[in-house]
Amino acid sequence: MGGIMGLDGVRALGFDVFGTVVDWRGGIARDAGPFLKRHSGRDDPLAFADAWRGQYQPAMEKVRSGQRPFVRLDVLHRENLETVLPDFGIDPARVAPAELDELNLAWHRLDPWPDVVEGLTRLKRRYIIATLSNGNVILMVDMAKRAGMPWDAILGAEVAGAYKPSPEAYLRTADMLALKPEQLCLVAAHNSDLAAARRCGLKTAFVLRPGEQGLGQHADEAMQDWDVSASDFLDLADQIGA
Amino acid sequence: MGGIMGLDGVRALGFDVFGTVVDWRGGIARDAGPFLKRHSGRDDPLAFADAWRGQYQPAMEKVRSGQRPFVRLDVLHRENLETVLPDFGIDPARVAPAELDELNLAWHRLDPWPDVVEGLTRLKRRYIIATLSNGNVILMVDMAKRAGMPWDAILGAEVAGAYKPSPEAYLRTADMLALKPEQLCLVAAHNSDLAAARRCGLKTAFVLRPGEQGLGQHADEAMQDWDVSASDFLDLADQIGA
């Protein structure tokens, strides 16, 4: 793992967000808990979070494959919510749409991992730091304002008009920063995301997030010799001299 | 002139940047001065700044009219630079391209007016603050990092794929923030920009920038009853309760 050598020439860091920057599982469970109790008396919000997130890739795949035009992630999350509610004993047609809209905003209220704000603040001194997420612009903006995440720019799927791991998501982000692919580094906790970025010529920084899937569950560990491999954003900042 | 009443329901402020947030004339003259002296011995950098800026609207008009596809402002600025240099006694073909590229980056290094960083910091507490400029993403990011401007998002022409005052530039920005047009307010020092935004349904905040065209020159004054009219960003923050 090359440390500073590994990121030679890099001018910007593009961050995966769900799982890498914020704890989607804990945040969704927190907001879904009272909703589930109220509507079905159930008390399994973590299972609900997993089920809702489980619809994420299939929904984006319809866009990536061209089955439907690009729609922002808020729209997919809202559709997916209606898909999973029956499995938790709730008929979405019997819930006020405004209440479903409000629950859908739980994705805008996810908390960052404890090292994130300090880590980003350090990394920002030396690099352009931008989101490179499948989350849409207002989702990222709401999340950042709530938690104080100091992004230089909100980029990624909606601005690129393509969902990761489609090459356009990475390459259009680099282009908008007027960078060659190798001057942009993806920071992510997921090997598949990093592998797709590497195929586009981006540099890659792996960050371990053992809490993403919950205690005792499988967490992604670095599966390739990524340019940098870090235990959190502070370790990443240490390694790349920020 | 409604003050807080005038911005009732507004959730985001979209800022024109050249002239409204930063002093393009002083910044371009500062960087062009040594270049002009070196290549032609001339000492009229303010006239050069005016001439370069003078090519701005005609160049964008070719995009707005459909004569050419959208290209980012950095590209137009670079072309415009070659257009104006002969009028200042310089043959651009006899200057190293890297030196022209470097001078072109003067647009990335413009200084904000003195009230901007404090004003934006206050406005950011209550509103989403985003660029709504014809400047491209990396131009805005470089400028913001250099001066410490705390944008929540870099939006505007490049992200929308359309130059102001085309309606798409305003409406796609509102859409990306998941806002109705009337929930977004354009902040600008130019009546024409505000008039176009108002035609799209946006709210409008005029800010007087008497220094934009230089001392003793004509500066835009509020020509319509904009929703708010302010003397600078601190006055704007005072008026809208931020």
Over chain B (242 residues), the average pLDDT of each successive run of 10 is: 70 98 97 97 95 96 96 98 98 98 98 98 98 98 98 98 98 98 97 97 96 68 90 96 81
Q: Is the Cβ pair A176, B138 closer than 8 Å?
A: yes
- In this predicted structure, what is the pLDDT of residue A18? 98
Closest partner CB to A152 (pick from B124, B141, B158)? B141
Q: Which of A3-7, A142-146, A169-173, B192-196 has the lowest mean pLDDT?
A: A3-7
| Residues A191 and A212 both lie in one domain | yes
Q: Is the Cβ pair A153, B153 closer than 8 Å?
A: yes
- In this predicted structure, what is the pLDDT of residue A221? 81
- In this predicted structure, what is the pLDDT of residue B6? 74
- In this predicted structure, what is the pLDDT of residue A61? 96
Contacts of B217 (CB under 8 A, 6+ apart): none
How far apart CA A24 and CA A18 sit, in angstroms, is 6
Q: Is A133 on the interface with B (CB under 8 A)?
A: no
| Residues B152 and B219 both lie in one domain | yes
| Residues B96 and B131 both lie in one domain | no
| Residues A194 and A158 both lie in one domain | yes
How far apart CA B239 and CA B242 sit, in angstroms, is 8
* A133 CA: distance to closest CA in chain B (Å): 14
pTM: 0.95
| Residues B90 and B153 both lie in one domain | no
Q: Is B159 on the interface with A (CB under 8 A)?
A: yes
pLDDT at A202 over 60: yes
| Residues B90 and B127 both lie in one domain | no
Name the band, by pLDDT with cuts 50, 70 and 90, for residue A218: low
- The structural domain count of chain A equals 2
- In this predicted structure, what is the pLDDT of residue B130? 98
- In this predicted structure, what is the pLDDT of residue A1? 45
A211 versus A37: which is more confidently predicted?
A37
- In this predicted structure, what is the pLDDT of residue A215? 59
Q: Is B138 on the interface with A (CB under 8 A)?
A: yes
| Residues B71 and B153 both lie in one domain | no
* A214 CA: distance to closest CA in chain B (Å): 31
Q: Is A123 on the interface with B (CB under 8 A)?
A: no
CB-CB neighbors (< 8 A) of A136 in chain B? 176, 178
- In this predicted structure, what is the pLDDT of residue B2? 44
Taking the mean position of all CA atoms in its chain, how far away is CA A233? 15
Q: Is B105 on the interface with A (CB under 8 A)?
A: no
pLDDT at A178 over 90: yes
CATH code of the domain in which B8 resides: 3.40.50.1000
Closest partner CB to B137 (pick from A137, A158, A176)? A176
Q: Is A47 on the interface with B (CB under 8 A)?
A: no
Which residue among B60, B91, B109 closes a domain? B109
Closest partner CB to B158 (pick from A74, A136, A176)? A176
Complex ipTM? 0.95
Structure confidence by residue, pLDDT tens digits, A64-117: 999 999 999 999 999 999 999 999 999 999 999 999 999 999 999 999 999 999
Question: How many other C-beta atoms can be found within 10 angstroms of the C-beta atom of residue A160?
Answer: 24
Name the closest residue on chain B to residue A141, using Cα atoms.
B152
Please give the residue range of the domain that contains residue B221. 3-23+111-239
Q: Is the Cβ pair A136, B176 closer than 8 Å?
A: yes
Nearest to A156 by CA among A41, A58, A73: A73
Which residue among A71, A91, A109 closes a domain? A109
pLDDT at A216 over 60: no
Q: Is B199 on the interface with A (CB under 8 A)?
A: no
Which residue among B109, B127, B146 closes a domain? B109
CATH code of the domain in which B65 resides: 1.10.150.240
| Residues A81 and A125 both lie in one domain | no
Closest partner CB to B176 (pick from A152, A158, A179)? A158
State the residue for tokens 């176009």: B196
pLDDT at A16 over 60: yes
Q: Which of B13, B133, B137, B143 to mutate to test the interface with A (most CBs of A within 10 A)?
A: B137
| Residues A92 and A186 both lie in one domain | no
User: What are the phi and psi torsion angles at B144 (to 5°)?
Assistant: -70, -40
**Beta-carbon pairs below 8 A across chains A and B:** 52
Half-sphere exposure in the Cβ direction for B143 (13 Å, CA): 27
* A147 CA: distance to closest CA in chain B (Å): 12
How far apart CA A60 and CA A72 sit, in angstroms, is 10
Q: Assign B155 to helix, strand or coil.
A: strand
| Residues A128 and A214 both lie in one domain | yes
User: What are the phi and psi torsion angles at A222 (to 5°)?
Assistant: -60, 120
Q: Is B184 on the interface with A (CB under 8 A)?
A: no
Closest partner CB to B177 (pick from A130, A138, A144)? A138
Which residues 139-158 in chain B show a CB within 8 A of chain A?
Answer: 140-141, 144-145, 150, 152-155, 158
| Residues B129 and B234 both lie in one domain | yes
| Residues B124 and B42 both lie in one domain | no
